Amino acid sequence: MGADEGPKQVANVACLPGIVKASLAMPDMHWGYGFPIGGVAAFDLEEGVISPGGVGYDINCGCRMMTTRLFLTDIRDRLKDLVAALFLQVPSGVGVGGSLKLAAKEVKQVLTGGSVWAVNHGFGEKEDIEMTEDGGVFPGADPEQVSDLAISRGKDQLGTLGSGNHFLEIEVVEEIFDQKTAAVFGLEKGQICVMIHSGSRGLGYQICDDYLAEMVKHAGDTGIELPDRQLACAKINSERGRRYFSAMACAANYAWANRQLLMHKTREAFQKALGISPRTLGMRLLYDICHNIAKIEKLPVDGKNVRLCVHRKGATRAYPAGHPVVPAVYRDVGQPVLIPGDMGTGSYVLVGSQAALTETFGSACHGAGRVMSRTQARKSSRGRSVTAEMAKQGVIVISSSRGTLQEEIPAAYKNLDDVVEVVHGAGLARKVAKLRALGCVKG
Amino acid sequence: MPYKLFDHTADLGVEVAGPSLEGIYNSAAEALFGILSDLSAVETKETLPRKIEGLDHEDLLINFLRELLSLWNRDHFLVKSCEVLEITPHNLTARLSGEFYNPLLHRIKREIKAVTYHQVSLVHTKRGWKGKFVLDV
């Protein structure tokens, strides 16, 4: 593979007007479009810019983790049935639509309502809202700033996993590093949890594409010299900047509603496959985080709290104990930080820290970035049965695409343990628990 | 094959080359739809005219590819071939031939999230034209 130019991209971002302090890169950083994946940059609200490339095509791609009352011993003999039930119940894969077909008017309601829309329509519990970053609703969303094509793409994709590196994974808590925080989060060794990784689907990609094209077209008007066209941006305090922000908010809400529906289907699949009641299952949302977003946040800069527009592209918010936006039940310990691995490698739960707030605009990594291109991964897995290999490692994988499985082999990604150790060692977020994968549904 | 894939960490890089600029556009169209579906099953049953604008050659190529992807996402139309009628660095007039998606006949291989500006290039060399672009998959 040719040299990954991620570091050059970090340097390019540093040239953007109104950037505060520094352009940052998380330990899982790699090449992206304009901004690197794993990039964090914060901008002054008057002089600074907002850039679709600093958010990513998959606006509010993120993940959520759910805990259950089940333990490994409860499901070990039924794991195959459970993964199969999830594969059938949760739409995944290329071109696969969801069971919900929405009219344009209803899509617009999702774009302003987010998780609240989903819960109000029977797809979840009130408690799920509190355990979602920002309560699952991004303020300032304006569906009138979203193109008809984007709305059209959102009509039949709500409640679908997508393809590529999106997944739904059954995991078991393998190791607890911080007993006190784990207890607050409701995690214990041997407990069954589920991780969902998905985003705003075609609607989000289209919004990013629409605004990137518009900003490229008008780049000359801004007077901003761009080292890379993909860094096309607009002043936050401009008409175009405000329109993108409110369209991005719409996509963020769509993604939250999407993950809320995916969780609802997961609850139903577990209950049906295992023949248990919701009470026995006890599937509770631990937390939902976004890792592709731009937000207006109050952050400490040289001892003062300043409102900034922080871009996190492949990076996760990691707020400390005592912060008012952390759910009340977690406020004594800090915000859960969910770091998914790739297919079949499990994940980590960490907790946010004061160091992250002061050093990285309240940010940590989002996962383990790729080290191998898709073509290399396919070449490397030619003639091998990825499903059989994963099964030998104790992970049942079901996917609608053999090609996707080949591209998503564990060797294609950085070692998640190493990435998390760096984050933990740097004090950005503290390890709480490590989870091992048992079963995975991939698109 | 009129196109080659090149390595990119997370997505798909495409290279096209040929003696004429018009041929490059046909190859780029074939690349995008060849990655998305199995083009051997697609026939040229309909022809759609298109006019595209761009700031320069590279922007024009990206806007052309974005329009192709929109044809798929909005109308579920699969493009088999592209005939360029007129081209300048800022404007393209073309005819796109193909057919509407039929799930009984056509296999969709992969989702293409977007056409990116990342590493885009379109240059004239002694041997003709060379183009490069990256698709977010």
Under the banding of pLDDT at 50, 70 and 90, the label for residue B1 is: low
Which residue in A61, A58, A48, A59 sits closest to A13, CA to CA? A48
Nearest CA in chain A to B53: A217
pTM: 0.95
Which residue in A413, A409, A412, A405 sits closest to A443, CA to CA? A405
Q: How many CB pairs under 8 A join A and B?
A: 84
**A380-419 residue pLDDT tens:** 888 888 888 888 889 999 988 778 888 888 888 888 999 9
Q: Is the dihedral of CA B55, A215, A317, A319 positive or negative?
A: positive
Cross-chain residue pair B73–A2, CB shorter than 8 Å: no
How, if at all, do strands A429-442 and A396-399 pair?
Answer: parallel
User: Taking 60 as the threshold, does the pLDDT of residue A140 lie above it?
Assistant: yes
- β-sheet bridge partners, residue A235: A49
**A176-219 residue pLDDT tens:** 999 999 999 999 999 999 999 999 999 999 999 999 999 999 99
Dig out the tokens for B105 from the structure.
């006949």
CB-CB contact of A157 with A202 (8 Å)? yes
**A247-275 residue pLDDT tens:** 999 999 999 999 999 999 999 999 999 99
Q: What values do phi and psi take at B17, rounded to 5? A: -150, 150
Q: What ipTM describes this predicted complex?
A: 0.92
Measured CA to CA, the distance from residue A40 to residue A423 in angstroms comes to 14
Mutate to test the interface with B, among A151, A155, A209 (most CBs of B within 10 A): A209
CB-CB contact of A82 with A270 (8 Å)? yes
Q: What does the pLDDT read at residue A3?
A: 66
| B residues 111..130 contacting A (CB < 8 A) | 111, 113-118, 120
Q: What does the pLDDT read at residue A1?
A: 41
CB-CB contact of A317 with A362 (8 Å)? yes
Strands, E, within A268-303: which ranges? Answer: 284-290, 292-301
| Rounded average pLDDT over B48-73 | 96
Q: What does the pLDDT read at residue A370?
A: 79
Whether A88 has its CB under 8 Å from any CB of chain B: the answer is no
Confirm whether A291 is a catalytic residue: no
User: Taking 80 as the threshold, does the pLDDT of residue A239 lie above it?
Assistant: yes
Whether A370 has its CB under 8 Å from any CB of chain B: the answer is yes
User: Taking 90 as the threshold, does the pLDDT of residue A169 lie above it?
Assistant: yes
**A84-109 residue pLDDT tens:** 999 999 988 776 777 789 999 999 99
Burial string for A29-62 (b: 16+ CB within 10 Å, else e) reads bbbbbbbbbbbbbbbbbeebbbbbbbbbbbbbbb
Q: Name the minimum distance, in Å, from the CA of A397 to any CA of chain B.
A: 19
DSSP helix/strand/coil, A341 = coil
